[in-house]
Structure 1
Amino acid sequence: MTVMVFGASSQIGRFLLPRLLARGETVKALSRSERASEPGLTWVHGKLPDRVPDVGRPLVIISFGPLLPFAQWLSSLVLAPGTRVIATSSMSAESKQDSDVPAERAISQSLRDGEIALAAACEKQGALWTIFRPTLIYGAGLDKSLTPIARRAMRLRVFPLPAGRGLRQPVHADDIAAAVVAALDHPEAAGRILPLGGGERLTAGEMFARVRRSLPIGTLPVPVPAPLLRLGRHAVPRLRGPLTRLEANLVADNSELQRLLGVSPRPFQPDAACWEPQL
């Protein structure tokens, strides 16, 4: 079976490709730069939505990139009936929907618009779609949330520990890849938007503490008390959203993920490898 992957070099894609190849799938992967192909994997040079060469009619199409360009590209194709289309959105579609920051509300709206567009493009052609909404992703050293914090702390030998009581549910990129592969074998997941969080809920403060403990070098812990965080929300407008959410629960209900796909993501126990780019 031929599988077309967009975002193959992303943090999820780096774990997905080995899983697909281990299943014996024939994989075509889009890249903005030239890459050498290997047995079972052909890299295609292009960019969504209008610079994608002819890739034939793959029976499975997977995307980890922006939803709207992907939906536009799908609308330009003639898909084989029953084509499986799997994509990732984000739990930010929910968590930032009522944010006090206009830019964050716009992100939420864009995600939800992309989900709607993707579903419509698939249903018009009889394709079977599944969208995952992951929580905070880690594990490949490519995320823009925890990895920059970890690397900055290693460089400066200082680790700020904000007093956040809101719950978090970080999900390893490989567990998302596992869910994508499981969806290929479970057509009952079609037509659904599935939340996807890690296997453990913990406070934001404990999450940061575990990141610090996972570092390969010692760092000085610097607690950041709640009054200082409140001051930061008012003094630095660009931090208002992130600092406010330290007291909010950003979690996902994995019950449908487990019921439909049998996937149970791992608890949050990071190690030093999580903050280095995975080849």
Structure 2
Amino acid sequence: MAQGLDDFVILITGAQGVVGQPLAERLKSEGKRCLMVSRSANHKQASWLRWDLNEPADQVVRTQLAEVSTLIHCAPIWLLPPRLADLSSARLTRLVVFSSTSVLSKQGSANTQEQVLVQKLADAEAAIQTHCDLHKLHLTILRPSMIYGYGLDQNVMHIARFIRKYRFMPLVGAANGGRQPVHAEDLVSAALRILQDANTYSKTYSLAGGEVLTYRAMVERICRGVGQSPRILSIPLGVFRTLLMLASKIGRFDYTPEMANRMSQDLCYDISPAQSDFGYSPQAFLLNPQRDLSITGNPLQSDQG
């Protein structure tokens, strides 16, 4: 008889992240058996496992992993390949692993750090696929685009914080590159929907949002979401690069020339395979700004605190 979802012990890595937190909350609300990984987990909470994925599992962790049959990996994907051996004691048969569309969009980047990122993503995907093929494990890789939600992300929230602080947003030129921000809850739904779907085994899906809008339109909507009228300062690329160079000499600055270039590049992805295979139906961008641009506290409730 086929094993049902209620029989699974689901291991969630990255359980305090932008996808991991709502995923853990959804599973707990549905009464599923799950084990959440954190470097700072409270040992008194049975549903949490203290494990730094940068380090091998000790015997205590291995014992707790023994009943795990399903892994949903929400931590950085490159942390997983070295830890696959630690999961050999588990009853693992199913892996759903989050990667990133950056493996596609940043392939031609001239930025050294971004080149390293692309290589790490690609190498990790390949290593995990090889391991799963060798051990006959069922793997699906999900590549989200720009993730946002619940004030937990470093994408939309970074823009929102800048606008709140300075009351304007600098953009390069027309900033007319297409974007498809994806809400964390849509990724949670996708991951849970495919857990028992054999049609998704050994496949990789791009998961973007349900709306395509320009970078400028995205910023304008974030402005309105934080209660401000859009105030956009359009700067020529050459001037922007000069400002970046000057800013780098006086301190840390979060933008790079490559990021500036991409404001006018389309970063849109084909989600039709996910729509066809498992009915992926993501929401439009920023439907609930009060929830998703929160700075007063995490709207999600967690027993981790």
Is 109-118 or 236-245 further displaced after alignment? 236-245
Aligned with residue 273 of structure 1, among 291, 298, 301: 291
Map of 2:240 onto structure 1: 232
Please name the residue that 1:50 is paired with: 55
SS at match of 1:24: coil
Shift of 1:156: 3.1
Match of 1:207 in 2: 218
Question: Is the 2:101–2:144 contact (alpha carbons within 8 Å) kept by the matching residues of 1?
Answer: yes
Distance apart, 1:81 and its partner CA = 7.3
1:107 aligns with 2:117: yes
1:27 maps to 34
TM-fit CA distance, 1:275:
1.9
The offset of 1:2, in angstroms, is 0.5
How many residues end up aligned between the 2 structures? 274
Cα separation, 1, equivalents of 2:258 and 2:157 = 19
* Distance in 1 between residues matched to 2:89 and 2:137, nearest whole Å: 7
Query: Corresponding residue for 2:82?
Result: 72
> Identity percentage over the alignment?
30
Is the Cα–Cα contact under 8 Å of residues 161 and 209 in structure 1 kept in the other structure? no
1:247 maps to 2:247? no
Q: In the TM superposition, what is the alpha-carbon distance from 1:77 to its structure 2 partner?
A: 3.2
SS at structure 1 position matched to 2:194: helix
Q: Which amino acid aligns with 2:206?
A: P
**1:1-54: per-residue Cα shift (whole Å, max 9, x none)?**
21011011101012111222344320101111133766xx70011111434311
Q: Conserved in 2, the CA contact under 8 Å of 1:74 and 1:122?
A: no
Q: Tell me, which stretches of 5 or more residues in structure 1 are unaligned? A: none
Q: Distance in 1 between matches of 2:240 and 2:167?
A: 22
Q: Which residue of 1 aligns with 2:25?
A: 18
TM-score by length of 1: 0.90
The 5 A counterparts of 1:143-222 are: 143-160=153-170, 162=172, 163-215=174-226, 217-218=227-228, 221-222=231-232
Per the TM alignment, residue 78 of structure 1 is displaced from its structure 2 partner at its CA by 2.2
Q: What per-residue deviation string (whole Å, max 9, x for no partner) do you get for residues 131-186 of structure 1?
A: 11100011121222220221232233334455311100000011111110011131
- 1:197, CA displacement in angstroms? 0.1
Contact 2:13/2:75 (<8 A) preserved: yes
Letter in 2 for 1:92: S
Question: Aligned equivalents of 2:44 and 2:187: distance in 1?
Answer: 24
1:218 CA displacement: 2.9
User: In structure 2, what is the Cα distance between the partners aligned to 1:152 and 1:138?
Assistant: 16
* Equivalent position of 2:278 in the other structure: 261
Q: Is this contact kept in 2: 1:122–1:128, CA < 8 A?
A: yes
Q: Report the CA distance between 1:235 and its aligned residue.
A: 4.9
Matched residues in 1 for 2:221 and 2:107: separation?
A: 28
Native 8 Å contact 1:85 1:128 kept in 2: yes
Q: 1:234: how far off?
A: 5.0
Q: For residue 268 of structure 2, give the secondary structure of its aligned residue in structure 1.
A: coil
Residue 12 of structure 1 contacts residue 176 of structure 1 at CA under 8 Å; is this kept in 2?
A: yes
How far 1:264 sits from its partner (Å)?
Answer: 0.6
Show structure 2 runs of 5+ residues with no match: 1-7, 246-254, 301-305
Question: Normalization by structure 2: what TM-score?
Answer: 0.83
